[in-house]
Amino acid sequence: MYATSETEHRPERSHPLTIVLVSPYDLAVAGGVNSHVLPLAAEFLLHGHRVCIAGPASGAPAVAVPAGVEVIPIGRPLPVPVSGSVARIALSLRLSGQVKAVLAALQPDVVHVHEPLMPSLPITFLRHSEAVNVGTFHAAREGGNRFYAYSRRLLKRWFRKLDGKVAVSLAAERLVLRYFPGYYNIIPNGVDIPRFTSSEPLPEFADGKLNILYFGRLEKRKGVKYLLRAYAAVKREMPEARLIIAGDGRLREGYERSIRRAGIEDVVFTGYVAEDLKPRLYASADICCFPATGNESQGYVLLEAMASGKPVIASNIEGFATVITDNVEGSLVEPRNPEALALALVHLLADDELRRACGRRARVRAEQYGWDRVAQRVLSYYERLLYERRLARQSRHHRSGLVTTGD
């Protein structure tokens, strides 16, 4: 545990920090970790700190980078299959020169590595950094992590270089604790509350139909096939319903083919949605539905939907159940159960007042995850770790002085 009882004696920070945020994933591809790192950097900048983002990049960042945040591409990302998805990471073992040059030029106070044990960029930063090193663990997998299991002995060396450890949820903490015991500070993902406030619906969806929105990648673990089965039953009960599938992925073609064969009407596949249209798409929804089957640590899309004031129906899995409460902001249903999902959808679609009430409560809940609050928690953690390092150094100098005097 950390010595919080001495907080009142802690000297105020007298100068801005230099912070390096490291992502293992291709900065040109939108995803959970990059959607965490970029807004965190923006908030740090608002607090007057110098911020640099380092990561592999196949092109320009997928999310707009605020002026003043430095972006340093390091490494060429390659696609690697991971847990039913594809991660684009740098696998080269020859990144040390670039990493050491960045550290020498910036002399950072804090190096904050996201998914710190992923090959190979995060580990390279941990190898060479003498700053306060912080690692955030994002992933959650009910079945465990084979990479951690097979590489635990080798990874312990770099794990020990972490001065501070963060997990974005209890589900993420549970995964990493299986392999690397220790204290983890739970600091969740955030959401840009103002961005999802008072957006206008897209005109093509503002025709009086009741819109069910799914937003995310079209991958097996996202459970879209169960939503499609549920929607077939919903459509029979609620002819005015429409299902909007927003996002892309390798399963899209098969989903579209199955819908055509079944003759189910009012299913719209939007494909990739540009970032500036996301708030308007959420504003077009009457209900947002996320039927993932597992391996979700928290779920950005839940936070975005809730910030938009929309009721949420989601699978009752650990990563989602920590964000919404059943019968408060929406409903939690059994994973892989299209009948239960259809029943929950019809229940909400048929009750306008209940939808509005759930949406209002969802918005209030989302306020707890505003990036301003999340960033302040992270900064407070940095300052605590920096303070503890100063105390440790003072203690070592004091002991060294006593030894010298004794001689």
In this predicted model, what pLDDT tens digit does every residue of 349-395 receive, in sequence order?
999 999 999 999 999 999 999 999 999 999 999 999 999 999 988 88
Cα separation, 350 vs 196, in Å, equals 25
Task: Please indicate, yes or no, whether residues 167 and 230 belong to a single structural domain of this protein.
Answer: no
In a domain, 95, yes or no: yes
What are the beta bridge partners of residue 80?
87
Nearest residue to 6 (alpha-carbon basis) of 373, 403, 375, 394: 394
In a domain, 57, yes or no: yes
Task: Please indicate, yes or no, whether residues 270 and 199 belong to a single structural domain of this protein.
Answer: yes
Cα separation, 385 vs 372, in Å, equals 20
pLDDT for the residue numbered 402: 57
pLDDT at 407 over 60: no
Residue 193: both structure tokens together: 């509350």
Task: Please indicate, yes or no, whether residues 201 and 349 belong to a single structural domain of this protein.
Answer: yes
pLDDT-based confidence at 401, cuts 50/70/90?
Answer: low
| Mean pLDDT for the stretch of residues 201-205 | 97
What are the beta bridge partners of residue 211?
242
pLDDT for the residue numbered 83: 64
Cα separation, 316 vs 134, in Å, equals 31
In this predicted model, what pLDDT tens digit does every residue of 84-120 receive, in sequence order?
678 899 999 999 999 999 999 999 999 999 999 999 9
pLDDT-based confidence at 304, cuts 50/70/90?
Answer: very high
In a domain, 10, yes or no: no
Taking a C-beta distance cutoff of 8 angstroms, is the pair 242, 318 a contact? Answer: no
Give the CATH number of the domain where residue 139 resides. Answer: 3.40.50.2000
User: Which of 26-35, 71-80, 283-292 has the weakest average pLDDT?
Assistant: 26-35
Q: Which residue has the tokens 């039927």?
A: 291
pLDDT for the residue numbered 143: 80
Task: Please indicate, yes or no, whether residues 242 and 385 belong to a single structural domain of this protein.
Answer: no
In a domain, 9, yes or no: no
Which range of residues forms the domain containing residue 24?
A: 16-190+370-403
| Mean pLDDT for the stretch of residues 65-81 | 92
pLDDT at 80 over 50: yes
Tell me how many domains the chain contains. 2
In a domain, 4, yes or no: no
pLDDT more than 70, % of the chain = 94
Task: Please indicate, yes or no, whether residues 360 and 374 belong to a single structural domain of this protein.
Answer: no
pLDDT for the residue numbered 236: 96
In a domain, 2, yes or no: no
Task: Please indicate, yes or no, whether residues 80 and 146 belong to a single structural domain of this protein.
Answer: yes
Task: Please indicate, yes or no, whether residues 364 and 374 belong to a single structural domain of this protein.
Answer: no
Task: Please indicate, yes or no, whether residues 380 and 363 belong to a single structural domain of this protein.
Answer: no
Task: Please indicate, yes or no, whether residues 223 and 180 belong to a single structural domain of this protein.
Answer: no
Rg (CA), the chain: 23
Other residues' Cβ atoms within 10 Å of the Cβ of residue 64: 11
Q: Give the angle subtended at the CA of 216 by the CAs of 214 and 222, to the nearest 5°.
A: 85
In a domain, 32, yes or no: yes
pLDDT for the residue numbered 12: 44
In this predicted model, what pLDDT tens digit does every residue of 213-244 receive, in sequence order?
999 999 999 999 999 999 999 999 999 999 99
Cα torsion through 67, 373, 37, 113, rounded to 10: 120
Task: Please indicate, yes or no, whether residues 345 and 247 belong to a single structural domain of this protein.
Answer: yes
Amino acid found at 1: M
Task: Please indicate, yes or no, whether residues 202 and 316 belong to a single structural domain of this protein.
Answer: yes
Taking a C-beta distance cutoff of 8 angstroms, is the pair 244, 109 a contact? Answer: no
pLDDT for the residue numbered 395: 83
* Average pLDDT along the chain: 92
What are the beta bridge partners of residue 333?
315
DSSP per-residue string spanning 168-208: SSHHHHHHHHTTS-S--EE----B-TGGGSSPPPPGGG-SS
| Mean pLDDT for the stretch of residues 245-261 | 96
In this predicted model, what pLDDT tens digit does every residue of 148-182 receive, in sequence order?
999 999 999 999 999 999 999 999 999 999 999 99
In a domain, 173, yes or no: yes
Eight-class DSSP state of 161: T
pLDDT for the residue numbered 84: 61
pLDDT more than 90, % of the chain = 81
Task: Please indicate, yes or no, whether residues 25 and 154 belong to a single structural domain of this protein.
Answer: yes
- Work out whether strand 18-22 and strand 50-55 pair parallel, antiparallel, or are unpaired: parallel
